[in-house]
Amino acid sequence: MRPHLPWVAPPAWAPLIFLALFFAHPLTAILSVSFAQGGWQAAAVVLRDPAVHQVLSWTTFQALLSSGISVVLALPAAFFLSRVQFPGQGLASMLLLLPFVLPTVVVATAFAVLADPTSFLGRLTAPVFGAAETPGMAAILGAHVFYNLGLAARIMAGLWARIPQSAAHAAATLGAPPITIFFRVHLPLLAPGILASAITVFALCFSSFGVVLLLGGGRFATIEVAIYQATMQQLDLPRAGILAVLQLGCSALFFALASVSARSVPLHGQAIPTAWRQLPRTVQGAGILCGAILFAGLILPLVALILESFRVQNAWSLEAYRLLAQDPRQSALGTAPIVSLAYSLRYAALATALAVPLGLAAALGARRSRLRTAIETVCMLPMTTSAATLGLGLLLALRTPWWDARTAAWIIPVAHALVALPLVLRTLQPALEAISPQLGEAAATLGASPRQILGRITLPLLARPLAMATTVSLAVSLGEFGASLFLVRPTTPTLPVAIYRSLSLPGTTNHAQALALATILLATCAVLGLVAQRLWVGASHKAHP
């Protein structure tokens, strides 16, 4: 701690006040509603409810199964990404990152198409999803693995790359075969990292909302879905609040365990990747097979969605896209479906205009404060809070005796900015740390004011990271579903909410509109993801010439 620094630098006050108003206050509102009637006894009644036990059991079971499958399938990918230099490695890394920029409604819709035996590709894939007790469960697991396999692979690849070559070379010199080296050398060293990735994926699957709601509905309700049902269908706000507190406590525990596990990894080396040509033929064959399976698993759902958007009543046509401009009086949404894209773009622009300056202020303020770690931790808290909990909290907190702000148009961008803020901060922090403090000190010595240092030195050096943060924020806002479902007005739906509503309604027209909207959202977020990837690569090359 440096004594000449303030406890909290002025730039950090803006994001802290924002979080106090729209994060801490909503959570307090949840606690107030949860225990307002009956106190702890009412909470005990809810927690003893057999229906809650069933929801908690299913939530835990599907999270365990999803995380286990994701980690097992991610191990081969992590090995080749970290220990082998092979052709197309950049493309493989990009494909593994693709799910991170895709909204939950897009992925859920894609897996719904794969599980539909009447769809073009579903005729081949539907039996796979029907192998489980119900197709809904298999589709949920498939969507969770689709989302989290890349995350698990990236976490383990980063740790695997730090295992020094000397450990494996010593075992190989003694005649140990590759499989023995893996189980006796690599696996024990990787165990804490595998545990950290498994806990992280488990926490994400435990708080899954959009995927479960679209693919499972009420049959496979997780705690998140139960919160939504209690709020929007049963109108039982105390029950929803108690479930939200339960969800919040579980998520905080899981992310804390993941953080502790990640810090316990005793690896500090740096392995030199083996060239592809130097690998044995059997390892090359295994790598090709692994790559083919992963490629098919990541691409097939998206291809199925795109193809099905061009089929209406089992015939190829552009009818689904023409229906997007349908007369609002004939639309089940109450507005032309394509209008939801305009609303989403407007919300995304406003959310980004809020999240990026707040993230920049948090990064700058934390760097100049004694309470740096505390400020960064507070700004990251929305990432550990589920979207349904945020939506419920805002729904409860913004109702006042003199003004009901829940119907205000600005609340959607605020909610989206709340979700995007931690990602913006994470994007800007490394770039800001790479800027030498001596540049600012030299400019100050020459008479430059803090504002001039910021405008002429810091911001120009952060131009590319700021562009990347903007892209990430736009993608997050466009795909945000959980909080929006609680807060959006019927006449101004976001694109994900419009997709969900169309899928929930009967009729060929509604289904076709949902697929077309999902394809448009897929294309938009994929482009933003590619832009973010290029900006990240460019920033990395600039930082390490």
Domains of the chain from N-terminus onward: 1-48+319-545 (1.10.3720.10), 50-308 (1.10.3720.10)
3-state secondary structure 469-506: HHHHHHHHHHHCCHHHHHHCCCCCCCHHHHHHHHHHCC
Residue 402 has a pLDDT of 61
What is the DSSP annotation of 221-232? --HHHHHHIIII
Q: How many CB atoms lie within 10 A of CB 249?
A: 10
Determine the average pLDDT of the residues in 207-220.
83
3-state secondary structure 392-438: HHHHHHCECCCCEHHHCCCHHHHHHHHHHHHHHHHHHHHHHHCCCHH
Q: Which of 181-185, 313-317, 351-355, 512-516 has the lowest mean pLDDT?
A: 181-185
- Tell which residue, 19, 2, 7, has the closest CA to residue 359: 19
**Structural tokens at position 499:** 């997709």
- Which residues are 311's β-sheet partners? 316
Residue 271 has a pLDDT of 61
Q: How confident is the model at residue 418 (pLDDT cuts 50, 70, 90)?
A: very high
Residue 133 has a pLDDT of 44
* CA gap 358, 329 in Å, rounded: 41
- pTM beyond 0.95: the answer is no
Q: What is the mean pLDDT of the chain?
A: 81
- Which residues are 84's β-sheet partners? 274
Residue 544 has a pLDDT of 45
Residue 417 has a pLDDT of 94
Query: Residues 76-93: pLDDT tens digits?
Result: 888 888 877 778 777 787
Give the 3-state secondary structure of residue 446: coil
**pLDDT of 9 higher than 80:** no
37 — phi, psi (to 5°)? -115, 105
Determine the average pLDDT of the residues in 421-440.
81
Residue 543 has a pLDDT of 46
**pLDDT of 253 higher than 50:** yes
Q: CA angle, 293 as apex, 289 and 298 as ends, to 5°? A: 150
**pLDDT of 121 higher than 80:** yes
* CA gap 218, 215 in Å, rounded: 10
3-state secondary structure 173-221: HCCCCHHHHHHHHHHHHHHHHHHHHHHHHHHHHHCCCHHHHHHCCCCCC
Q: Scan for tokens 């790598």, then name that residue.
A: 287
Determine the average pLDDT of the residues in 221-238.
84
With both helix axes pointing from N to C terminus, report the angle between 339-367 and 10-19 in degrees, rounded to the nearest 10: 140
